[in-house]
Structure 1
Amino acid sequence: MCSHQPTCPAADAVDHEAAAIVSAHPEQGWNLLCNGVVVFEDTGEILPTGQVVAPHRARPLVAAA
């Protein structure tokens, strides 16, 4: 369980990416969050259930002509 105050969002919450980082591995491109979610630098994720979330990067803005 999360010991942070306020507590981190659960892995199945909409804002689960807002949980605190408990183990950072920037040299390998991933972080483990307090709620058990593994977040990759390409914005992909692995949830504690083993479910994979595809990368969801923002699309670049296109200048109007």
Structure 2
Amino acid sequence: MEGVYNFKVGMTCSGCSGAVNRILSKAEGVKSFDISLETQKVSVVAPDLTQDQVFEIVKKAGKPVEVL
């Protein structure tokens, strides 16, 4: 599916996942997202954004991020 991006994000607590949640909630162009603290994965649906743009948004949470 185009516009779906998956990242591994270094989250160790609910505060970490909350930070990612706050950033993605406010981001323009992000349609929906799913955050799994257990697997440290974040899936973002953003059909109008590139993977690099979404990566930069997720990075603003201040956690280590890598593309899956």
Same fold per TM (> 0.5)? no
Q: Which has the larger radius of gyration?
A: 1
Q: TM-score, normalised by structure 1?
A: 0.29
Q: TM-score, normalised by structure 2?
A: 0.28
